[in-house]
Amino acid sequence: STTPVKVAVTGAAGNVSYGLLFRIASGALLGPDTPVELRLLEITPALKALEGVVMELEDSAFPGLAGIEIGDDPNKVFDGVNVALLVGARPRTKGMERGELLAANGAIFTGQGKALNDHAADDVRITVTGNPANTNALIAKTNAPDIPAERFSALTRLDHNRALAQLAKKAGVHVTDLKKMTIWGNHSATQYPDIFHAEVAGKNAAEVVNDQAWLENDFLPTVQKRGAAIIEARGASSAASAAAATIDHTRDWLRGTADGDWVSMSVVSDGSYGVPEGLISSFPVTTKDGNWEIVQGLELNDFSRGKIDASVAELGEERAAVKDLGLI
Ligand code: NAI
């Protein structure tokens, strides 16, 4: 098609977006033959920096970049958007309480949820990358009653990709030899990366690895705490890998998962696997034509059940906290 797809990105002058915008403009999200119009949202004091990013986008002379609009009003920036990547969020600053963080982000995601509700295109798909991603997505969804709940998602694909990288190293294979990785629960240190259904070159990954001590003492904490390890090493939080994961997540949602494989996405629960209905929690999903389905019928051992329950309990607490704050 020659009609450009309108892709909104929030926090567009931030670090993740610096990795994200150029890849979207190059066709990594929608494919090389679909022109894209970028709609970039920032807070007022960051608009000047954003103008610099726009200059660089222009200077890249991307064949598929049909236009760029920037602004600080979500009601204008989200007008007619088909895809919204909600990256901008208030980071936790030193001494900030969890309640304050939820309140600060609550204000952002109630407003953006309403703006999407009133102005986005009928086919809009929304990916929340900004943390706390799952609960921010829940707030946006609840404030957008006219948008079907299944159009909202939160990013656990970076965790999924991190888990693939660790498993590939352990098994001595390339990530392309791996299938059916799953991240369950919250995008936080309680997330549960599950290799019991994953495959290494067609064989069960847990059996190939056959090392419960590695699983519990190495793999799980490495994946769960990878964000902190990157901050420690780089002096800044993961940005390029978060951008790559935001592309992977949204591209697969729009264009479909491969046969015989699945991906991890945080989506609204229908009660599958005992996750309370309405929570936005990470599941194994297959996708086709912009729709996702939770993979059904996986058997969970006691170890997995316990880990999933703990992460889902945390999501329940976050939901209770934002309810108390009147955000949902
Ligand atoms: P950053 O601080 O470099 O950029 C965030 C940008 O958002 C800033 O430019 C800021 O001005 C903007 N912003 C703040 N409030 C806004 C609003 N109301 N509307 C529009 N823009 C707004 O942060 P960075 O490194 O780009 O990270 C962005 C978010 O992504 C953070 O919340 C971070 O925790 C999260 N993240 C999530 C990951 C995941 O796997 N889900 C992985 C890595 C980062």
Taking only the tens place, the pLDDT of each residue in 69-113 is: 999 999 999 999 999 999 999 877 777 887 888 889 999 999 999
Whose alpha carbon is nearest atom 27 of ligand 1?
A: 16
Q: Is 294 helix (H, G, I), strand (E, B) or coil?
A: strand
Q: Which of 6-20, 88-102, 114-128, 143-157 has the lowest mean pLDDT?
A: 88-102
* DSSP secondary structure letter of residue 185: B
Q: Is 15 annotated as a binding residue?
A: yes
Residue 191 predicted with pLDDT over 90: yes
What confidence category does residue 187 fall into, taking pLDDT thresholds of 50, 70 and 90?
very high
Q: Among candidates 143, 96, 95, 136, which has minimal Cα distance to 118?
A: 143
Backbone conformation region of residue 13, classed left if phi is above 0, alpha if psi is from -120 to 50, else beta: alpha
| Ligand 1 proximity of 43 Cβ (cutoff 6 Å) | yes
Q: Which whole number is the average pLDDT over 298-326?
A: 96
Closest to 86 (Cα-Cα) out of 183, 190, 7: 7
Full strand arrangement of the beta sheet holding 199-200: 178-179, 199-200, 203-204
Q: Where are the alpha helices (DSSP H) in the chain?
A: 15-25, 47-59, 74-77, 98-119, 133-142, 157-171, 205-209, 212-214, 220-224, 226-234, 240-255, 302-324
Q: For the chain, which domains are there?
A: 5-154 (3.40.50.720), 157-318 (3.90.110.10)
249 is catalytic: no
- For residues 292 and 267, the answer to whether their CB atoms sit within 8 Å is yes
Query: Would you state the pLDDT for residue 2?
Result: 80
pLDDT of residue 80: 98
Is this model's pTM higher than 0.90 or not?
yes
What element of type H or E holds 38?
strand 36-41
CA nearest 8: which of 64, 86, 67? 86
Q: Residue 1 above 70 pLDDT? A: no
Helix (H, G, I), strand (E, B) or coil at 134: helix
Active-site option among 119, 160, 187, 197: 187
Would you say 92 is a known binding-site residue? yes
| Residue 232 burial (C-beta neighbours within 10 Å; 0-12, 13-18, 19+) | exposed
Whether 130 is in the pocket of ligand 1, judged by its Cβ within 6 Å, is yes
Distance CA 199, CA 206 (A): 8
Residue 113, ligand 1, Cβ within 6 A? no
- For the segment 250-259, what is each residue's pLDDT rounded down to a tens digit? 999 999 999 9
CA of 14 to the centre of ligand 1 (A): 6
CB of residue 91 inside a 6 A radius of ligand 1: yes
